[in-house]
């Protein structure tokens, strides 16, 4: 039995957003850090050794993708994964990628934005 078109489109959109987020090493590092625990931008910037401006741009992307949420705490904002299941998905992807042979290459490696 095939899935309804609207549901498939929604699932494809979610996977595309997740893939777009994982396509950048800094966003991967942010997601992995937030997988461990929620964090404030200043702490994330320091832990990842990147500027707050650069971090802010990446957090905006991750918010737009629906992968992280900003939780106001008084005058500060804490970031966390939008859904705890994302942490499990990140762990599954991380361990699956480690299992790939080092000499394996992406067939589309010449295209910009691939592997």
Tokens of 25: 């090493």
For residue range 6-64, list pLDDT tens digits in order.
Answer: 777 788 888 888 888 888 999 999 999 999 999 999 999 999 999 999 999 999 999 99
Going from the N-terminus, what domains does the chain have, and what CATH number goes with each?
9-98 (1.10.10.10)
What is the pTM for the complete model shown?
Answer: 0.77
11 contact partners, CB below 8 Å, separation of at least 6 = 3
pLDDT of 99 higher than 70: no
CB 66 within 8 A of CB 17: yes
Placement of tokens 């080092």 in the chain: 102
CB 18 within 8 A of CB 67: yes
CB 79 within 8 A of CB 69: yes
């Amino acid at each position: 039995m095939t899935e309804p078109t609207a549901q498939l489109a929604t699932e494809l959109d979610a996977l595309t957003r997740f893939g777009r987020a994982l396509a950048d090493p800094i966003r991967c590092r942010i997601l992995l850090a937030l997988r461990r625990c929620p964090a404030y931008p200043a702490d994330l910037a320091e832990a990842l050794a990147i500027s707050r401006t650069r971090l802010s741009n990446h957090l905006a992307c991750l918010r737009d993708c629906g992968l992280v949420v900003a939780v106001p705490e008084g005058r500060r904002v804490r970031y966390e994964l939008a859904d705890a299941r994302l942490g499990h998905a990140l762990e599954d992807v991380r361990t699956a990628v480690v299992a790939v042979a080092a000499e394996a290459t992406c067939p589309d490696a010449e295209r910009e934005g691939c592997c």
